[in-house]
Amino acid sequence: MNLFKPSEMFVSATADSDMALEGKRWRKETYDPAAQGITDRKKFVTDTGIAIEPLYTPAHLEQIGFDYLRDLGFPGEYPFARGDRPGMNRTEPFVVSAYSGFGDAEACNRRFRRLVEIGTEQILVALDLPTQCGYDSDHEMATAEVGNVGVAIDTLADIEILFDGIPANSIKRIGTLGNSIGPIVLALWAALGEKQGIDWSRYTVNLQNDPLKEYIARGTQILPPAPAAKLATDAVAWCVEHAPNWSPMTVCVNHINAGGAGSSMGTAIALSNARHYIDLLLAQGYTIDQVAPLLHMFPDERHDFFVSIANLRALRRIWARMMKETYGATRPEAMACRTTVYGHGQEALAEPLNNITRTAYGTLAYVLGGASYIYLAGYDEAVSTPNENSARVQLRTLQILANEHGFTDTIDPLAGSYFVETLTAQVERQILDGMAQIGSIGGALAAISTGFARRVMTEGAVRRQRAIDSGDRPWVTVNMWPQQPNVPNTAFRGDAKAVERQLARLAQVKATRDAARVKEILAEVDRATAENRNVVPCVLDAVRAYATVGEIVDVWRRRFGGFVPSTDF
């Protein structure tokens, strides 16, 4: 399998229109003589394998058969290439978002209050690894991990403290990743509203809740893929019935691209995963018009600025056509692809302050590409959970992008660019080819079980490493002006007492809750699971009774068995 074929993606103006002939003449008479004898200073190929030409002209638009009304249309209208919302950033700039969490709920609550004070409009709670993997803080597998890469959440008591003084409706959205524990985190957010006396219709919860990509890239999978996907769709189905204003699933390219797939194949894999979830929901009798508006996509490209813009535009067009033509959607909300992004660049360990510049440029591409919800990586994120100073810089960078420089004054500002339109068509072709390839092997689950996705990832990661080692991919302070990488121990380490407090709180909750009631409800969760019912209603009851995350997950572990880690590389 060779996914990296730059030559095939090379768009050359072979048509013999006047424009194409003029372009060829310029190349031959003016550019080539000037470039003669000069060695290319780098490989002019994108990370996704598209060769970049010295110049783009109207001949390239002829080459791709560019048709404005068919290919772009207008913002907020089919095929949504220019934007999923009518006014985009001009009427309402993207939502300034923060991904944050560490230690225990008490320590983390202080950080959250600070984030809201300085203008954060959405908080996505970073959970620690034991929580994400369905282990309570007192489990052996949680050793040395409690509160490390996120906040520890064992029961509803932790969520109550985490959002103490921050009403669920005081910011635009709250949520978390919870990829392998989707129904549980959904229930925790629903129960928070009940505790705070705020109706579900009056706040918005966003979850990642995309377990399939965990098997491919991120690694917090708990169960075998098929039941994991079913449980994730239960969260979506519950929202269709009870909280249609929430966004309970964000299908991710992010980790798949970062892990090696590249943004085009990563988008193809993510869209195939989305199709799997959608098909499960349609099989339960929901309609595409009910389901699609609740889904978000999480695109990602961190190597090539213009590819990032092209990817967002191509993704919206593919999504719209897929919803309308493949699934027969009729509501515009079902065809408009909402996007969440997380701004990155090629962050380096050496001289980490440079990462502020890198991530700002990476994020600018997302702004120009029209993303709706934007997060930004901290300059120290490669090392640790961002410290408070870094969190402030993240937020201010987003606010600057939203308000200064005129970046957000007009909609889809690069539309019509010979280069950007050509690249958008090329990226779209790569994504559609990837989807066809996955379709031909049997879809999302087969991409995991046959090892297809894993091969794509490893090959891509090896290719990237070689490009860095050889200097083909320039990287300042790494292969240009190289500096010693340094991980300073000023890295944020949180509060040493947090683990003690967490364990004490968990013990206290277990000692004071109605143990018989918990046992009874956990049995009901097991019955609902066995009968293939939607598990969210009884998981919500379990959460209300202060059952722990680990106890609920254990029900599923017993029922489905655990995942078997692959030893392929």
Partner 1 sequence: MSVSASEQPRRRKIRVLIAKIGLDGHDVGARVVARGLLDAGMEVIYTGLRRTNEEVVRAAIEEDVDWVGVSILSGAHRVLLPKLRKLLNDSGASDVRILAGGIIPQEEIPELQAAGVDKIFLSGTPIAEIADYLVKETKHV
Q: Which residues bind partner 1 (CB under 8 A)?
A: 129-130, 132-133, 135, 141-145, 148-149, 214, 217-221, 258-260, 348-350, 382-384, 457-458, 461-462, 465, 469, 478, 485-489, 491, 493, 565-569
167 burial via Cβ count (<10 Å: 0-12, 13-18, 19+):
middle
Nearest to 221 by CA among 531, 448, 546, 434: 448
Place of tokens 């965990």: 214
157 touches 510 (CB < 8 A): no
Task: Give the burial string for 309-345 (b: 16+ CB within 10 Å, else e).
Answer: bbbbbbbbbbbbbbbbeebebeebebbbbbbbbbbbb
Least Å distance, CB 470 to partner 1, is: 10
Least Å distance, CB 458 to partner 1, is: 5
Whole-angstrom distance, CA of residue 89 vs CA of residue 219: 34
Work out the angle at residue 210's Cα, subtended by the Cα atoms of residues 462 and 229, and round it to the nearest 5 degrees. 110
In terms of CB distance, is 399 or 479 closer to partner 1? 479
Least Å distance, CB 4 to partner 1, is: 16
Tokens for 381?
């994120």
In terms of CB distance, is 11 or 216 closer to partner 1? 216
In terms of CB distance, is 148 or 264 closer to partner 1? 148
In terms of CB distance, is 60 or 255 closer to partner 1? 255
Least Å distance, CB 69 to partner 1, is: 42
For the chain, count helices (H), then strands (E). Answer: 26, 8
Least Å distance, CB 385 to partner 1, is: 9
In terms of CB distance, is 226 or 491 closer to partner 1? 491
Beta bridge partners of 249: 295
In terms of CB distance, is 95 or 217 closer to partner 1? 217
Least Å distance, CB 87 to partner 1, is: 39
Least Å distance, CB 40 to partner 1, is: 23
- In the three-class reduction of DSSP (H, G, I as helix; E, B as strand; rest coil), residue 341 is classed as strand
Whole-angstrom distance, CA of residue 567 vs CA of residue 569: 6
The backbone torsions φ and ψ at residue 415, rounded to the nearest 5 degrees and listed phi first, read -60, 145
In terms of CB distance, is 54 or 485 closer to partner 1? 485
Whole-angstrom distance, CA of residue 464 vs CA of residue 420: 24
Least Å distance, CB 237 to partner 1, is: 27
18 burial via Cβ count (<10 Å: 0-12, 13-18, 19+):
exposed
Which residues are within 8 A (CB) of 207 and not within 5 positions of it... i.e. 6 or more apart?
A: 175, 176, 177, 178, 182, 185, 186, 189, 235, 247, 248, 249, 250
Least Å distance, CB 411 to partner 1, is: 36
- Give the H or E element holding residue 26: helix 18-26
Least Å distance, CB 549 to partner 1, is: 14
> What DSSP letter does each residue of 486-555 carry, written as one string?
---TTS----TTHHHHHHHHHHHHHHHS-HHHHHHHHHHHHHHHHTT---HHHHHHHHHTT--HHHHHHH
In terms of CB distance, is 139 or 172 closer to partner 1? 139
188 touches 168 (CB < 8 A): no
Q: Is 341 left (phi over 0), alpha (psi -120 to 50) or beta?
A: beta
Whole-angstrom distance, CA of residue 79 vs CA of residue 62: 20
Least Å distance, CB 325 to partner 1, is: 35
Least Å distance, CB 358 to partner 1, is: 14
In terms of CB distance, is 317 or 358 closer to partner 1? 358
What strand order describes the sheet that includes 205-207? 205-207, 173-176, 122-125, 95-100, 373-376, 338-343, 295-298, 249-252
Whole-angstrom distance, CA of residue 33 vs CA of residue 261: 38
Whole-angstrom distance, CA of residue 279 vs CA of residue 294: 14
Whole-angstrom distance, CA of residue 130 vs CA of residue 141: 7
In terms of CB distance, is 52 or 149 closer to partner 1? 149
In terms of CB distance, is 389 or 403 closer to partner 1? 389
In terms of CB distance, is 48 or 534 closer to partner 1? 48
Least Å distance, CB 267 to partner 1, is: 18
